[in-house]
Amino acid sequence: MSQAERRSHPFVDWLRSANEYCFGYGSPTTLGVIRIGVGFLALVNWLMIGVDWDSWFSERGFIPNWLGSLWFGVRTPYPYFLSTWLPQGLPRLNLLSGITDPRINMAFYAVVTISALFTCIGLGTRYAAFVLAIGTVTLHDRNGAILHGGDTVLRMLVIYIAVSPSGQACSLDRLIDLWKERISRSPVLISIWGQRLIAYNTALIYFTTLWLKWDGDKWRFPKMNATYYPGRLAEFYRFPLPDFMRSGWMARVTTIGTLITEFCLGTLVFFPPARKYVLIGGVLMHSYIEYSMNIPLFSFLMIVSYLSFYQGEEVTGWAQRMGMRLRKWHVRVSLPQGMRLQPRALAFFDAMDPFKMVTYLPGEGPNWTAEKFDGQPIGVSKAIGSRCIGGWVFLWLPGMSRRLLEKGLEAIPTEAQRAEKSEPKPAGQFARKGR
């Protein structure tokens, strides 16, 4: 068989397409958005833990350091491999192992919490995400007795974020690099195996949970009333539900709905035509759980992970389509006469504005002006600050947007200057006629 024939074998084709699907290059936008969500939820999680820090992570609490080690040591005996020098059990990534000084523990906690914030906003993303991942694993290994499913989801997501170039999009790092002209203004492409891992792990959660449910008689015919029980556990109550939602027949409906949704989320979600409907089902299921049951952050984390089923280009396209729908909130910002934005500033403001709601025009007056879609004037800082969500982290600082605009300006060269410098006309990609 010739090499060409071998290449065209269906299995080889399948392998090739699987290889490209899993390890090919694509837009980092999805990973960037997931990073924001995960960073934010990690921040909320650690702040919530901080409320009862003394109970969970101090030597005066329910789980002092030695007991935290014992928790995992007892549960995971390791009789063969490395057992001679690891009599306690498996080695775990726990930087706080044996550290009982509350000041060190608190400092560690503070660093992890701050790293969650930095991961969220994408500042020093590589380091912040790495610290967050190490910190999260450490704190989970320090006290495993308080962990629930949401914690495991969070831990997995921060690890995936840390090992992926998640700061390449939707991050302050990218904005700073664009401003300082350290990176190309063209869209970046990354190998998206990190995103694929998130997608796979998300599907794995549903598939294996569903599989385990198959053992439970309450999930199977003839009972099929499993969801009846959690809804009646007083310790899980959250917001009130109408009585019929707790009734027997509704339990049957929600039990079947849960099984179908979980099956689809574990399998059909990879099939593009079904993806949207499957994910809507997942969002509805988790929204119901979030509303009715007190299971903090779990639903939000799962919903954030759903983004991994979308390509970065799809997320970008969605944002732009959404921006078009929000047309009446668009603004036009006019530059001072004779000035234009430097290419770096243009790329910077463009990256800050995912919904493409701000257009920059050459002005005819001496100052910056801005007007809304209906022609009403609006303050320049307000116009940019309110529309460019990528800049919300820093544009609220007094004078920040104006300072950026001023620094991003350059004089439009006259024809004579152009001729003198043999400067080509303004790049076509940055200028077009009419609106």
Partner 1 sequence: MASVQTRPQTAPLPDQPNSPQPAKARTAAWWVKVLVLWHVFCITVWSCPKPNDALVSGKVTPPPFAIGDWLRLFDEKDLRTLQPVTFYLFTTGTWQYWDMFAPNPANIDWWGDAVVTFKDGTSKTYQYPRMFLLPIPEKYLRERFRKFYERAHDDTYSYLFPVFAMRVALLNDTDPNNPPVKVGLRRHWKQVADPGEKEFDRYDSYQYFTYEVDPKLLDRLKKEGL
Closest CB to partner 1 among 241 and 396?
A: 241
Q: List own/partner pairs for 125-130 with CB under 8 A and 24 or more apart.
A: 125/35, 125/166, 125/167, 125/171, 125/173, 126/167, 129/35, 129/39, 129/158, 129/161, 129/162, 129/166, 129/167, 130/162
Q: Where are the beta strands (DSSP E) in 148-228?
A: 190-191
Structure-token pair, residue 342: 């430097």
Q: Are 92 and 141 in contact (CB under 8 A)?
A: yes
Q: Give the nearest distance from C-beta 327 to partner 1 in angstroms.
A: 15
Closest CB to partner 1 among 58 and 386?
A: 58
Closest CB to partner 1 among 23 and 396?
A: 23
Closest CB to partner 1 among 74 and 107?
A: 74
Closest CB to partner 1 among 125 and 255?
A: 255
Structure-token pair, residue 376: 């009403």
Cα gap 183→351, rounded to integer Å: 13
Residue 166 has phi, psi (to 5 degrees) of -75, -10
Q: Give the nearest distance from C-beta 24 to partner 1 in angstroms.
A: 6
> CA end-to-end span of the chain, whole Å?
59
Structure-token pair, residue 248: 């027997």
Q: Which helix (H) or strand (E) holds 283?
A: helix 272-292
Q: Give the nearest distance from C-beta 215 to partner 1 in angstroms.
A: 4
Closest CB to partner 1 among 198 and 307?
A: 198
Q: Calculate helix-pair angle for 29-51, 298-306, nearest 10 degrees.
A: 170
Cα gap 351→190, rounded to integer Å: 17
Closest CB to partner 1 among 24 and 396?
A: 24
Closest CB to partner 1 among 232 and 382?
A: 232
Closest-CA residue to 133 (of 76, 93, 106, 165): 93
Residue 296 has phi, psi (to 5 degrees) of -60, 130
Q: Give the nearest distance from C-beta 124 to partner 1 in angstroms.
A: 21
Q: Give the nearest distance from C-beta 95 to partner 1 in angstroms.
A: 11
Q: Give the nearest distance from C-beta 176 to partner 1 in angstroms.
A: 17
Q: Give the nearest distance from C-beta 306 to partner 1 in angstroms.
A: 16
Coil, strand, or helix at residue 390?
helix
Q: Give the nearest distance from C-beta 398 to partner 1 in angstroms.
A: 26
Q: Give the nearest distance from C-beta 367 to partner 1 in angstroms.
A: 17
Closest-CA residue to 34 (of 150, 159, 151): 159
Q: Which helix (H) or strand (E) holds 334?
A: strand 331-335
Closest CB to partner 1 among 118 and 219?
A: 219
Q: Are 394 and 381 in contact (CB under 8 A)?
A: no
Q: Give the nearest distance from C-beta 219 to partner 1 in angstroms.
A: 7
Cα gap 218→229, rounded to integer Å: 9
Closest CB to partner 1 among 45 and 401?
A: 45
Q: Give the nearest distance from C-beta 22 to partner 1 in angstroms.
A: 7
Closest CB to partner 1 among 62 and 270?
A: 62
Burial code (b: 16+ CB inside 10 Å, e: under 16) for 103-137 equals eebeebbeebbbbbbbbbbbbbbeebbbbbbbbbb
